[in-house]
Structure 1
Amino acid sequence: MTVNTQTRTQAIRLALVDDHRILRQGLRSVLEREEDLVVVGEASSEHEAETMVAAARPDVVLLDLKLSAGSDFEGLSLCAKLSAAHPQIGLLVLTTFLDEDLVVRAVHAGARGYVVKDVDTTELVRAIRAISAGESAFDSRSAAAVVRSLNGRAEAREQLTERELEVLRLLATGLSNNKIGEKLFISATTAKFHVSNIMRKLQVSRRAEAVYAASKRGLI
């Protein structure tokens, strides 16, 4: 058992959200070996989790992104709902998925941390305590994913000029080159030139792909 050297007046209340009961049982068994951790609720679905969290009022919720056979990322929706309804609760994603886009989307949905299920128990406990203290917690792989994603956004922002960003925002609304030109008081030829530069810098070949790539990088 890992002994926490910090004096605590009360235990950290945990809720476990995973569609596999055996995994929840395993987590409960491991985590409750810690003197300062207690599991106060479990849920296997988005709806169950909303009801359970409202009743149990945990300090930290450990949730998987995949909560049903029909959706790989139902946990993202749950994360956003819990973050909006209970902003004081720390949300820690514990999942099998390690994808840069998913890590960033989870953070945007309100998660304060993201760890992969094969993480060492000591690291998981450390992450829970950090989340409970109001800090962020990412294992080394998910932290690297966030850094790469943020670096990618920064690079893209540096590459696009202010005018190109204006054109990009209008492009995202579905406007043609002629309409973009009218909005910005430039010729359709100039608008087309800017659109071509945007696609080249975002390394895409179609307008729709440019909008998608820009959205993923946080440019629009």
Structure 2
Amino acid sequence: MTPPIRLVLVDDHAILRQGLRSVLEREHDLVVVGEASSEAEADAVVRATRPDIVLLDLKLSAGSEFEGLSLCTRLSETYPDTGFLVLTTFLDDDLVVRAVHAGARGYVVKDVDTTELVRAIRGVSSGGSAFDSRSAAAVVRSLSGRNEPRQQLTDREVEVLRLLAAGLSNSKIGEKLYISATTAKFHVSNIMRKLEVSRRAEAVYAASKRGLI
């Protein structure tokens, strides 16, 4: 029989690692041989287990910016036979491309279904690359150089965005700007549409990367 694909899970949330382990080990050809919650733990676990695949989140602590990228760069250079597959909540064209440059062979967003995740793992294990439909589109846009210019935010939307970055809810944003919560929600929806994101946190990240806040 073909040996199983040996996996290491790198994510700072223990519950997520436990859930992933439970789901992935239902597959006959997948086995989790180690887990890590930080860069230091990942270094030690990968060195000890020499897995086929490292399933890697990009953000490994609340106060840092995507240290998973530097970890991926270092480990992929040290262990070139190991495949690195990013599994994260963040989807941004620049971030996907940075992950690829860091040595990742695939990029999958965490709300992907199990079937697609397993397919991505097997694809990377076989020497290929694996991207879900959204991250693949980001790579194509970057490589083709056909990124469409994003629509400009209005002054009011920038005000809303700054309050959004401060963690305010729609109702609190409305109170600050003397508008209704419904109007605040409308502005937030427009901001996310213009920044081409689907979550409030992604909007804040995308805006900060572009110097909007």
Q: TM-score range by the shorter chain?
A: 0.5 to 0.7
Matched, 1:18 2:37: no
Matched, 1:63 2:56: yes
Amino acid of the residue matched to residue 103 of structure 1? V
Contact map agreement 2:91 2:135 (CA 8 A) in 1: yes
For the residue of structure 2 that corresponds to 1:135, the secondary structure is coil
Amino acid of the residue matched to residue 57 of structure 2? D
Distance in 2, Cα, partners of 1:154 & 1:74: 26
Structure 2 equivalent of residue 80 of structure 1: 73
Q: CA shift at 1:114, angstroms? A: 0.1
Q: CA shift at 1:69, angstroms? A: 1.4
For the residue of structure 2 that corresponds to 1:13, the secondary structure is strand
Distance in 2, Cα, partners of 1:80 & 1:153: 27
Distance in 2, Cα, partners of 1:127 & 1:72: 25
Distance in 2, Cα, partners of 1:35 & 1:82: 27
Structure 1 equivalent of residue 100 of structure 2: 107
When the two structures are aligned, how many residues end up with a matched partner?
149
Structure 2 equivalent of residue 116 of structure 1: 109
Pairwise CA RMSD: 1.7
What residue ranges of structure 2 are gaps of 5+ in the alignment? 149-213
Q: CA shift at 1:96, angstroms? A: 0.1
Q: CA shift at 1:72, angstroms? A: 2.8
Q: CA shift at 1:152, angstroms? A: 1.6
Q: Deviations along 1:15-68, whole A, 9 cap, x unmatched? A: 000000000000000000000000000000011001100001100000000001
Distance in 2, Cα, partners of 1:130 & 1:72: 28
Contact map agreement 2:9 2:35 (CA 8 A) in 1: yes
| CA radius of gyration, larger in | 1
For the residue of structure 2 that corresponds to 1:75, the secondary structure is helix
For the residue of structure 2 that corresponds to 1:69, the secondary structure is coil
For the residue of structure 2 that corresponds to 1:68, the secondary structure is coil
Large movers: runs of 4+ above 3 Å: none
Amino acid of the residue matched to residue 87 of structure 2? L
Structure 2 equivalent of residue 38 of structure 1: 31
For the residue of structure 1 that corresponds to 2:145, the secondary structure is helix
Distance in 2, Cα, partners of 1:69 & 1:88: 30
Taking the TM superposition and a 5 Å limit, the aligned residue runs for 1:158-169 are none
Q: CA shift at 1:151, angstroms? A: 1.4
Distance in 2, Cα, partners of 1:91 & 1:77: 12
Identity %: 80
Distance in 2, Cα, partners of 1:48 & 1:72: 18
TM-score by length of 1: 0.66
Taking the TM superposition and a 5 Å limit, the aligned residue runs for 1:82-101 are 82-101=75-94
Q: Deviations along 1:96-143, whole A, 9 cap, x unmatched? A: 000000000000000000000000100000000010001000000000
